[in-house]
Structure 1
Amino acid sequence: MSDIPDRIPTPCPSCSSDLETVHEVLTEGGGHLTVRCSDCGHVHKIQPEREREVSLDVVVSQDGESFTANVTTPAEETLETGDEFLLETEEVLSTVRITSLEIGDERRRESATAEDVETVWTREVDNVSVDVTIHPQDGRREDSRSVTVYVPGDYEFEVGAVEEFGDDEFEIDAFVVRQDAEGYRRDRFEVEGDVGFAKDLKRVYAFDQTSTAWSAW
């Protein structure tokens, strides 16, 4: 009975037909609950109230592409930017993060009840791409280059750590987190030992560590 609590308030036909008393839930079946009154011990059946549900359009973006899915959720549930949930459809099974809530007339909010929402905008966070700006070892920013690495969303990037992806090897100098990332004290981190999850990062800045020096020729 995953959706039913162990105890539930309901009138008792034996000792309290007008007022609710606490009842212990014994069994569930056939759309009914068998409950026992905590005051008098009377056992009877009740039909539990079902939560009203709404259907929502969910737009999922990943690496510049997007697709739309449909989910059903309790009407009174509060949705907020930054919330993550498992999206399960016939086509996809992935964890997504809410980036925006559209409530009509193209208006956006960071928080709203499900029944007020028309479209939930999200991005996939199971597997993500992270943009990395790599500066040459001599620090000349005009010779910097940008690469994109693909990692699991919970992959950790640490300031001061050396990373190797294919032919690229670099030491992380700083990283900037996304607006929808939760639990970070600021937007930019550049102190050695600072750690950020790939799904939370907008960009990583690093210094080249490859053995072959860059050349303008």
Structure 2
Amino acid sequence: MYARSTTFQGMPANIDAGITFINNEAGPTLDKIEGCRGLSMLVDRETGQCIATSSWENEAAMSASDGQLRPIRDRGRDILGGSMQVDEWEIAIMHRSQHGECCRVSWLQGDLDAMTETMRVGILPELEQTPGFCSASLLVNRLSGLGCATTAWETRAAMEASRRSADDMRSRTASEAGGKIVDVHEFDLVYAHLHVPEMA
């Protein structure tokens, strides 16, 4: 399974228009493309940063969709009023009990196989015992050595309460991978139509 994420550095005032675009145009378009397994959208209403991520059955389907989706991405950028960055990933881990209402995204650089094993064996069992935890995923880009770990939470309060333990788990993962933490950001989950199977 693969994923393509489009990160928009938009304007906070345009967030609602962007959500409407995802619901009415981008989501329905992706539903009709062969090999697509869904779409999610994360937004930060304070900064205007948004991440739309589509999932794909295989790398070939993801690559074949690029030309068809480029105008959709460009329209999203115009609506949100900012810049965008497109990244492609392999889905290494997907573990979900429910979608939740908000997410914490952590980007880490390092040994991706070690990162995946640490998250699967050491981190997921701890997360499952954390109040309000809904799901976790790990996307990896083997060319850049970058991993993108996302945890979803039932409520904003649950996510905030988990920050200290999340900091510890993230530091351990980076250490085990012989790498570093690149960035951490918290978002609202405003669109979650993903059909990726359990991959834990």
| Superposition TM-score tier, normalisation by shorter sequence | under 0.3
Structure holding more helix per residue: 2
- Provide TM-score, normalisation by structure 2: 0.19
The structure that has the greater radius of gyration is 1
TM-score (norm. length: structure 1): 0.18
